[in-house]
Amino acid sequence: MSDTNVQSGADRPVRKRRSDGERSRNAILREAAQLATVDGLNGLSIGRLAEAVGMSKSGLFAHFGSKQELQLATIEVAGAIFSEQVLEPALVAPTGFERLRLLTEGYLRYIEAANFPGGCFFASIAAEMDTHPGPVRDIAVGFMADWLALLERTIGEAQAEGDIDPDVEPAQLAFEIEAHLLLSNALFAISAEPTPIERARRALERRFGEVATAAA
């Protein structure tokens, strides 16, 4: 512990520079995520991003050595935003059914907040990269698989707690939930009107009412 508490005068400016560099990198990546939902990840380049953030290409190369590195780092920061706004608030709920409701509501609020001009970052890149093999596609596909698995697992937990009808197939219900979420995302990105979000909320609440047991 003492080693971390005691810093020489030479150490302090180095740590500050690293901190400033990290903040700068995160700001760049947030801008990159914005651009990616409009231009696509394949349209995201060092030159395009440098222009958007008012930096030189050489300045950006100090943060990212290649286009693929930039793409992967952009996905990482978009994942952190999704986790902060959708996953973390829901996963502290005490029951599976509450977690399921909060996950879906969190996703709708994440869309509604217009974090990205092209709608949900991961829906956008999954549609773009589905026919482009490589590590970027693998991450996009993996995110979708993990999200559906989380919904399915949460439904199973709600069934085990007696709040969702045991005859309901978790994978099918997760599919139906995601269909509502994706359509609301697509229509909201097109119109910027709240109607698709409200329609999804009503549809999901109706479906939850259909699968809930008397105990819920």
Instruction: Please give the pLDDT value at position 1.
Output: 38
Number of H helices, E strands in the chain: 11, 0
pLDDT in tens, the chain (216 residues): 334 343 333 343 433 434 555 667 888 899 999 998 888 888 887 788 888 888 888 877 777 878 888 888 899 999 999 999 999 999 999 999 999 999 999 999 999 998 898 899 999 888 887 777 888 888 888 998 999 999 999 999 999 999 999 999 999 999 999 999 999 999 999 999 999 999 999 999 999 999 999 877
Note whether 194 and 112 are within 8 A (CB). yes
Q: Is residue 4 part of a domain?
A: no
CA-based nearest residue to 73, from 109, 46, 54: 46
- Report the predicted TM-score, pTM, of the whole model to 2 decimal places: 0.82
Instruction: Please give the pLDDT value at position 44.
Output: 81
Residue range(s) defining the domain that contains residue 43: 10-211
Q: Is residue 66 part of a domain?
A: yes
Q: Is residue 2 part of a domain?
A: no
The CATH code of the domain that includes 18 is: 1.10.357.10
Q: Count the domains in the chain.
A: 1
Q: Is residue 3 part of a domain?
A: no
Q: Is residue 122 part of a domain?
A: yes
Q: Is residue 121 part of a domain?
A: yes
